Amino acid sequence: MRITTRIVFGMALVGMLSGTHRLVAQDAAGEGWTNLLDKDFTGWAFHLTKEGNDNDGTYAIKDGVMTCTGKPSGYVYSEKVYSKFTLQLELMFERPEKLEDDAKFRGNSGVLIHVADKNALNVWPRSVEIQGMHRQTGLILPIPRSLKCGRTYDKEAFAKAIKPVGQWNAIEIEVNGGDMTIKLNGTVVSTVSDCELTEGPIAFQSEGAPTRWRNIRIKEK
């Protein structure tokens, strides 16, 4: 009888846990978030070098993490166009073994918002770049520089928020057409206002350094 009771209790517990898991999944889906680039590149395209070569090992996805070798320069971009949304992600650069001073690390990458004409500045498209370079994470770079776009950057907030090279940094980009607010590890570090670009695809850069991305998700408004 005791064995039977334990079996029944165990089955009930499994049922409760699996039910809880389903409820959590349903709650997450109900919040309106959509995971991006955690399984494959369906719905995404590539532009590598000015010739726009396809992906040949530069980007890969494994166990929910997108990796990038950093070479050649270019980007992976969504086929879907976005205008008003919140984008969340975590970014990490692989830490060189001999790196002693993070300020000297030149690893670079970034997120491109409202992607438009290709090769507007070398390989980079007309867009608003949210800088991913470790020394300036969150800095706003209009592409090309003549792009009309109001912007701010809080260096002190950045210095307090950034985590060391080799650790994950969380970035949140809230976009309302031509206005944006960028948070680094929960702290506002930059803003964009009255940008002439108000919609377009999203892109993630390959820019010279081995990079990892995870927990990329978007909520449209």
Structure tokens at 171: 């970035």
Find where tokens 């165990």 sit. 10
The per-residue pLDDT for 211 is 96
Per-residue pLDDT of the chain (221 residues; tens, 9 = 90+): 444 444 444 444 444 444 444 434 434 445 899 999 999 999 999 999 999 999 999 999 999 999 999 999 999 999 999 999 999 999 999 999 999 999 899 889 999 999 999 999 999 999 999 999 999 999 999 999 999 999 999 999 999 999 999 999 999 999 999 999 999 999 999 999 999 999 999 999 999 999 999 999 999 99
The per-residue pLDDT for 30 is 54
pTM (2 d.p.): 0.86
Farthest CA pair distance, the chain: 79
The per-residue pLDDT for 31 is 87
Structure tokens at 44: 């995404």
